[in-house]
Structure 1
Amino acid sequence: MRRSVRTVVLGVVLALIALVVPTSQVHPEQATLVAVRQARGLDVDPHVVWILAVGSDARPGQLMTRTRGDALQLVGIDTRTGAAAAIGVPRDSFVDIPGHGYDKINASMVFGGPQLLARTVGNLVGIRPDFVFVTRFPFFEDMIDDIGGITVVNPRPFSDSALKPKGFRAGRISLDGYAAMAFSRIRHDLPRGDFDRSANQQRVLRGIQARVAQRAAEPGFIDRGVFSVLQHTSTALGPAALFRLARAVAAVDPAKITTCVVTGSIGTAGAASIVRPNVAQARRLGHAARSDATLPRGC
């Protein structure tokens, strides 16, 4: 029998950070929601809530909050207007990690967990997230399957011999959990590599939000989700804060979702391929979205 959709979580969520997952199958180590030290509180008014959504590259047996993040999306929600913005940060961005020198930005979670990753992303973009949401990819796949799959608009065909040999056609396509994971992770067949992959992650998150919005009005949906978060997600947040976050996600206006990816150039550091991020552009994006979760169109 199909597992019930129970949990509304906040994170992988790119333009809106709402995830729905099955209560019967999720282990607490599959997801964690961390409040960032020294970040603004939820009760600040007016406020924009910023959540750094991270897809952990942890293998079985590894601690997901101390491994490299494979997907990094900084998502903001303006609870006054229903606007939401997502700033994609390529995982190979070569930046100064406080206390550890220059390295790929996703290495900061290895060095110092979600708190250091939040600080490092904040230094690049100019926005310190209020929360970091980290999830494993199997958790992500279950979520997509349990909300009935998603639809995305794919601008170009691409494939991967390991993850998706038959690939994805261009146009409007439907994705189940595994396909959504592959769509989010493939980069080698994309013209702009890590930059296009980050944009694809944002397309997937838009698809998640659209599907979740279809179910938000179901009686008890938000209430059951908050209860399940407390049961199955590692977090110190109480039910009142989670409920406010869930309601903020449900109130997002799809017409007010804007997304951008931090650009840069491809280079090397030793034998490693890296992205040298356009810091000036990253700061412009942060400045534009900081107060109202709205990014310039066409960035």
Structure 2
Amino acid sequence: MTGSREQLGRSAGGAARRGWRRVVLAAVLVLAALTVPGSAVSSPQAVLVEVRRAQAVDLTPDVVWILAVGSDARPGEDMTRVRGDALQLVGLDTRTGAAASIGVPRDSYVPIPGFGSDRVNAALTYGGPQLLARTVGDLVGIEPDYVVVTRFPFFEDMVDDIGGIEVGNPRAFSDPDLKPLGFEAGRIRLDGYGAMAFSRIRKGLAGGDFDRSANQQRVLRGIHAAIAERADRPGFLERGVATVLRHTATDASPVELFRLAQAVAQVDRRRITTCVVPGALGQVGEASVVLPYVAVARRLGDAARQDATLPRGC
């Protein structure tokens, strides 16, 4: 970085970085809820939380990290106080158009500050988005700037409203409850329910929780492609921002969310990289867990921290 960039990051960086963070914010909000019909769901269907840190972290103001969480909350339950079913740490470089997603298997057995060790998604139950952000940050070495928690029905409606998505499925799989007929291998099209099932099925996958996390990343890629394809249509982004404001608990303004939506649309699909934190299967008491390879998780964090770019083929 040049001296002027460093000065921006340290002096004027507070306001500038906050502005760009809000821009990237739209990426995750849009990925989770861009075009859901206003009458389809009741508010709120998503929660956006800015992470409070004990000390400032000096990163380039161009890169923002958001922890996207799919909540399995039932009607009437607080979505920020139940175990998360999907965990993706998403980074966006608003300067270059690069984007990265680090998948954290939900059954990863990790230390949770103040609560001993448990599955990583239990941190949401114990201490809400702030504690989950800290727990994931301790594992990967990147504490997110924001946590976005969404309900799965909202996600399904969004995918349906954009006409479905396409994903590349490396191998056929099925689930007797969520998808009895299964998913074929190859390039497939998914509606809202299909995208939800594709993201949540684990038992029919050879790699279990690891493959499920990779499938979640495939769905995010598909949603981004659909958004980018439609971004130039009159009113598309505006309608998405209006939906976010109606159904998301956040203090972001319409202007900030619109800039965020633009940032998502401008992500270069050739510069999207994804990895899943690897690990070994283990047993804690009667519970099956994933024992994450912490050293590898930290290497992924180190690789992507400054430019939202992960090594290919990880």
| Residue aligning to 1:4 | none
The alignment status of 1:96 with 2:117, answered yes or no, reads: no
The alignment status of 1:205 with 2:220, answered yes or no, reads: yes
Match of 1:26 among 41, 45, 56: 41
Equivalence map 1:122-271=2 (5 Å): 122-271=137-286
**Hey, what's the Cα distance between the residues in 2 that align with 1:110 and 1:103?**
11
Q: CA RMSD in A?
A: 2.0
Q: Check 1:49–1:18 CA distance in 2 against 1; reply closer, same or farther (3 A cut).
A: farther
Shift of residue 12 of structure 1? 7.1
Q: Check 1:232–1:9 CA distance in 2 against 1; reply closer, same or farther (3 A cut).
A: farther
Show structure 1 runs of 5+ residues with no match. Answer: 1-7
Q: Among the aligned pairs, what percent are the same residue?
A: 70
User: Aligned partner of 2:237: which letter?
Assistant: I
TM-score of the superposition, structure 2-length normalised? 0.87
**Hey, what's the Cα distance between the residues in 2 that align with 1:148 and 1:255?**
23
| Residue aligning to 1:11 | 28
Which protein is bigger by CA-based radius of gyration? Answer: 2
Is the 8 Å Cα contact of residues 97 and 266 (structure 2) preserved in structure 1? yes
Shift of residue 18 of structure 1? 6.8
Bigger fraction of residues in strand: 1
1:53-83 deviation line (CA, Å, top 9, x unaligned) = 1000111221111000000000011001000
**Hey, what's the Cα distance between the residues in 1 that align with 2:90 and 2:54?**
15
SS of the residue corresponding to residue 21 of structure 1 reads coil
TM-score of the superposition, structure 1-length normalised? 0.91
Q: 246-255 or 103-112: which moved more?
A: 246-255
Show structure 2 runs of 5+ residues with no match. Answer: 1-24
**Hey, what's the Cα distance between the residues in 2 that align with 1:73 and 1:111?**
19
SS of the residue corresponding to residue 210 of structure 1 reads helix
SS of the residue corresponding to residue 29 of structure 1 reads coil
Q: Moved runs in structure 1, 4+ residues, more than 4 A?
A: none
Is the 8 Å Cα contact of residues 80 and 124 (structure 2) preserved in structure 1? yes
Q: Check 1:282–1:45 CA distance in 2 against 1; reply closer, same or farther (3 A cut).
A: closer
**Hey, what's the Cα distance between the residues in 2 that align with 1:12 and 1:56?**
14
Q: Check 1:77–1:190 CA distance in 2 against 1; reply closer, same or farther (3 A cut).
A: same
